[in-house]
Structure 1
Amino acid sequence: MRDLGVGFGYLVKGQRWAAGHGRAYGFGLLPGLITLVLYAAALVALAVFGDDFVTWATPFADDWSSPWGGLFRGFLVAVLFALALLLAVVTFTAVTLLVGQPFYESLSERVDRSVSPDGSAPQSPHSLGRELWISARDSLRVVVRAALWGVLLFALGFLPFVGQTVIPVLGFFVTGFFLTEELTAVALQRRGVELRERLALLRARKTLAWGFGTPLGVAFLVPFVAVFLMPGAVAGATLMARDLLDEDMGEDVAEDATEDTARDIAGGERGLADRLGACGHEPSP
């Protein structure tokens, strides 16, 4: 169970790293914003037309006496929307990483250099086009796996009591695992680790993946939070990838990085004022 805390620790460290690198963090928000707009439109459409879809899909309930037909269809609409949210959380990361592939690759390399004893970072042997193709292909495979789990959990949701208590909790853990896979893929793919190997690494340390991905998945359910957490999530996942591969992060380098981050955070307001001044704006009092 210790790995649960370790995984959550990587999530926190990643957010702290992003907070200490404001320029990289700012650029990292753009892919998430684009993806958020697309997903919000899809969820709004589901909320508007979901009832009509369920009514069309359940003609056998037309003759049910009141209020059982309405309650049954209302329950199906709620479950359908919950399933859509589950899939949105899982696929949001995949789509955002694909949209922001060049940036997140650069961000992951910077994290590697900041904790590597010799200041180096593994380089991908593939061209950008090949990297995008591999990312899209692997993301589709992960989404299919997540969708199969989603269908299974959807079916189990009809079980009395268990479907309303245990199954939603299992859904968050499943979401957390696949979120962790998508995020660690940025660093692991750059090291030439294929999808099957990545899944094997995470299955061997499920509690580590859950500790990192499950709280992140819960946070992603809050509107806009996913956008602001993505850069730090990629940074934390890079640190986790080094752990999964037993790569040395160097204690002295890690301590220096922590101190640098603290100094960057403490001087964040002054840095922002300097940047505003350089752009010809007067900082607010």
Structure 2
Amino acid sequence: MLKDFSTGVGLLAKGFGLVFRSPKLLLIGAIPAVISSALLIGSLVLLATNINGIAEWATPFADDWSETVRTVTRVAAGISMLGAFLAVSMLAFTAITIVIGGPFYEHIAETIEDTELGGVPDAEQVPWWRSALNGVRDAVLLIGLAILFAVPLFAAGFIPVVGQTVVPVIAVCVNGWLLGIELTGIPFTRRGKTLKERRAMLRTKRATALGFAVPSYLLCLIPLAAIVVMPAAMAGGTVLAHRLITGQPGRVPAYQPYRNGTQAS
């Protein structure tokens, strides 16, 4: 399991290598991430500046408690709310980024698969608008799952010790998993695979998928890091999807500069 997890981490590192070797791919992938990052940071700042009032509103039962207990309870509530917001907003951020940058990320995935991984025979040519609608539909389902998990995790956050240690780890794994499902969407869609099929195939290599997705999720939590992480994660997700679908490692050959969208011979 640990070996498979480290393999997943290696796929993310490979994604960074792919986009750093081609600044054009990095720039293309950064554009939609910049727009989504601005929206995410703005909403997070708005929540953080009002978190005290929101925590008080959410814990009216603590009004008559002693000041110390009331303060601890509301601090825990505020932390849990911020954690839940980050969990859901990160998936929403990824979904919005992918919808906004659909053509950009499709270009990244197609370039990597066609020039580095042997191409996709009989790849489906999905119009951008249809791809965007499919992305929105899948994102709504995944965000719904995130909310379903966020509610009990929010409640568990009030449990002493466990709420501050075990719960955050579980939350990162759950949200990393959901993020990994989103990041592998384009390669699966090119082959006509549904969200259900994508999830089933990722489950066959759960440790590898988590090794790829959890670091991607944690890096995206760093302010503005997602501008670089998203293109790399999309590249790594493409390699991961290729391995799952073809059953082949998809070893990336030595780099040769791109010329007009293809590799130079």
> Deviations 1:236-256 (Å, cap 9, x if unpaired)?
1111101111255665xx33x
Instruction: List aligned pairs for 1:127-276, cutoff 5 A.
Output: 127-246=127-246, 248=248, 254-255=252-253, 258-260=254-256
Q: Contact 2:62/2:70 (CA < 8 Å) preserved in 1?
A: yes
What 5-or-longer segments of structure 2 have no aligned partner?
259-265
Report Cα offsets for 1:178-208 as digits up to 9, x if no partner: 1110000111112111011111111221101
- Matches of 1:66 and 1:116, distance apart in 2: 61
Deviations 1:27-53 (A, max 9, x none): 211100100111111111111112112
> 1:49 is matched with which residue?
50
Deviations 1:188-231 (A, max 9, x none): 11211101111111122110111000111111111111111111
Structure with bigger gyration radius: 1
Structure 1 70/238 Cα, relative in aligned 2: closer, same or farther at 3 Å?
A: same
TM-score by length of 2: 0.91
1:83-94 residue pairs with structure 2 within 5 A?
A: 83-94=84-95
Query: Which residue number in structure 2 is paired with residue 104 of structure 1?
Result: 105
Closer, same or farther: CA 9–250 of 1 in aligned 2, 3 Å: closer
Q: 1:176, 1:210 within 8 Å by CA — same for their partners in 2?
A: yes
Q: Which residue of 2 aligns with 1:79?
A: 80
2:112 counterpart SS class: helix
Seen in structure 2, the aligned counterparts of structure 1 residues 122 and 97 have a Cα distance that, compared at 3 Å, is farther
Give the aligned partner of residue 37 of structure 1: 38
Partner in structure 2 of residue 126 of structure 1:
126
Aligned length: 258
Q: Which amino acid aligns with 1:174?
A: V
Which runs of 5 or more residues in structure 1 are unaligned? 264-285
| AA aligned opposite 2:171 | G
Q: 1:39 to 1:108 in 2, by over 3 A?
A: same
1:124 to partner: Cα distance:
2.7
Shift of 1:75: 1.7
Tell me if the contact between 2:94 and 2:179 (Cα under 8 Å) persists in the aligned partners: yes
Q: Which amino acid is the alignment partner of residue 240 of structure 1?
A: L
Please give the alpha-carbon distance, in whole angstroms, between the structure 2 residues aligned to 1:201 and 1:190.
15
Does structure 1 conserve the Cα–Cα contact (< 8 Å) formed by 2:109 and 2:238? yes
Q: Deviations over 1:105-139 (max 9, x none)?
A: 1110000012234x556533432211111111011
The answer as to whether partners of 1:12 and 1:236 remain within 8 angstroms in 2 is yes
Select between 34-43 and 45-54 the one with higher mean Cα deviation: 45-54
Cα contact 2:138–2:195 (8 A) shared by 1: yes
> Mean Cα displacement is larger for which, 30-39 or 88-97?
88-97
164-173 vs 240-249, which deviates more? Answer: 240-249
1:144 maps to a residue whose letter is G
Relative to structure 1, is the Cα distance of residues 116 and 57 closer, same or farther in structure 2, using a 3 angstrom cutoff?
Answer: closer
State the Cα deviation string for residues 4-40 of structure 1 (Å, max 9, x = none): 1211111111110001111121121110010011111
TM-score by length of 1: 0.85
- Identity percentage of aligned residues: 34
SS at match of 1:260: coil
1:147-188 alpha-carbon deviations (Å, 9 max, x no partner) = 111112112222222221111111111121111100001111
**Cα offsets for 1:59-92 (capped at 9, x unmatched):** 2222222222222112211111122122222222
